[in-house]
């Protein structure tokens, strides 16, 4: 809880214009929400015009962090000692173009990995044609002792990027356990997905993922039919928990936040991400986790059109996400 609150405070203080909003350990923030009559326990406002987050109180002296709340922050000096072939200017840019939240939830090894991947992306772009520049840089990290892998993807941000990556993993047969996305201020996206399975037996699935990603990102292939075919191979979740979806405005910001607590289904992230994109929103940040068959997801959205972020639009998105979560 302290780490998330501190990340929120420092980011708001340093990057007021680009902040991604509060990152709160209390996922649904029940004590800070108005509740709808007839829906006990669900944090949704009675008055749609007040569809907003009551954010944690920010200490008046944002520049000072109490010693009791200090955390280890990854430094540029640490990273410079662990990466090679990347200039000091690139390292400096990486730190300046990313929010504090990224460094709070990313370990030193992955920061160094992402920095090297960004370097490769920029070099690839300088020697590629217009289509070649759309190809992502992909790295797989295995953890055989935990029977899972993490795939890191660095590429230019574009409409629908997140759901296309999630869809490519589903086409390859992977089940997504968790995900984190961050976008640098220069529009380079850094997305990480934890999936089940590791080892040589998944080599073919990784090849399918690589091929599908290129088809989706470069050739704009529709992945829905292939995902539907894979879904038939996976059992539907038991209906032990009713789906909960909340959509509200981030306070003092023209952004919306989606929080979902729904039964996990194969291909869920693809369907949810595609729906968000088609509703006229882009993802600026996301945190996805699966626990005991439940998907606990949080998405930060920006509108991609000139339509107002009013209660009618947010309620329509919420209802559509509820339907998508049970199909």
Q: What are phi and psi of 296, to 5 degrees?
A: -115, 100
Residue 72 pLDDT more than 50? no
CA distance 236 to 245: 19
CA distances from 84 to 65, 122, 139, 152, 246 (A): 33, 15, 17, 19, 44
Residue 167 pLDDT more than 90? yes
Give the per-residue pLDDT at 239: 60
**pLDDT tens digits for range 219-244:** 899 999 999 988 888 776 666 778 99
Least confident of 131-135, 139-143, 287-291, 294-298: 131-135
The pLDDT-based confidence of 15 (bands split at 50, 70, 90) is very low
Q: What are phi and psi of 171, to 5 degrees?
A: -60, -40
- Please report the beta strands in 11-126, taking only residues with DSSP state E, as ranges in sequence order: none
Beta-carbon contacts of 29 under 8 Å, excluding residues fewer than 6 positions away, are 43, 53, 54
In 10 A of CB 198, how many CB atoms?
18
The three-class DSSP label of residue 323 is helix
Q: Sketch the domain layout of the chain as residue ranges.
A: 1-18+72-127
Give the per-residue pLDDT at 75: 76
The pLDDT-based confidence of 53 (bands split at 50, 70, 90) is very low
Q: Which of 257, 237, 259 is nearest to 249 (CA)?
A: 257
Over residues 73-99, mean pLDDT:
86
DSSP result, 173-230 = TPPEEEEEEEE-TTSEEEEEEEEE--SGGGHHHHHHHHHHHHHHHTS----HHHHHHH
Cβ–Cβ < 8 Å for 298, 27: yes
Greater model confidence, 81 or 6:
81
């Amino acid at each position: 809880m302290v780490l998330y609150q501190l990340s929120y405070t420092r980011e708001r203080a340093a990057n007021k214009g680009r902040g991604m909003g509060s990152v709160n350990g209390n996922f649904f923030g029940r004590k800070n929400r108005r509740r709808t009559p007839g829906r006990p326990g669900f944090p949704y406002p009675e008055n749609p015009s007040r569809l907003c987050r009551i954010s944690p109180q920010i200490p008046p002296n944002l520049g000072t962090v109490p010693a009791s709340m200090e955390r280890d922050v990854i430094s540029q000096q640490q990273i410079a000692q662990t990466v090679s072939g990347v200039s000091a200017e690139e390292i400096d840019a990486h730190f300046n173009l990313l929010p504090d939240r990224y460094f709070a939830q990313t370990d030193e090894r992955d920061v160094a990995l992402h920095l090297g991947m960004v370097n490769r992306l920029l070099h690839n772009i300088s020697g590629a044609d217009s289509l070649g520049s759309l190809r992502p840089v992909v790295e797989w990290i295995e953890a055989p002792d935990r029977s899972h892998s993490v795939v890191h993807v660095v590429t230019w941000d574009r409409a629908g990027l997140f759901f296309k990556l999630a869809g490519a993993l589903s086409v390859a047969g992977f089940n997504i356990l968790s995900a984190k996305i961050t976008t640098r201020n220069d529009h380079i996206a850094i997305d990480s997905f934890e999936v089940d399975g590791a080892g040589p037996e998944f080599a073919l699935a990784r090849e399918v993922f690589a091929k599908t990603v290129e088809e989706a990102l470069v050739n704009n292939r529709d992945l829905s039919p292939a995902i539907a075919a894979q879904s038939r191979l996976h059992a539907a979740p038991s209906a032990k928990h009713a789906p909960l979806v909340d959509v509200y405005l981030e306070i003092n910001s023209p952004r919306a936040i989606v929080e979902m607590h729904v039964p996990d289904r194969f291909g869920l992230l693809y369907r949810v991400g595609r729906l968000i994109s088609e509703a006229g929103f882009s993802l600026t940040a996301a945190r996805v986790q699966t626990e005991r068959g439940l998907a606990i997801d949080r998405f930060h959205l920006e509108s991609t059109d000139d339509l107002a972020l009013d209660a009618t639009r947010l309620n329509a998105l919420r209802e559509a996400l509820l339907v998508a979560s049970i199909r």
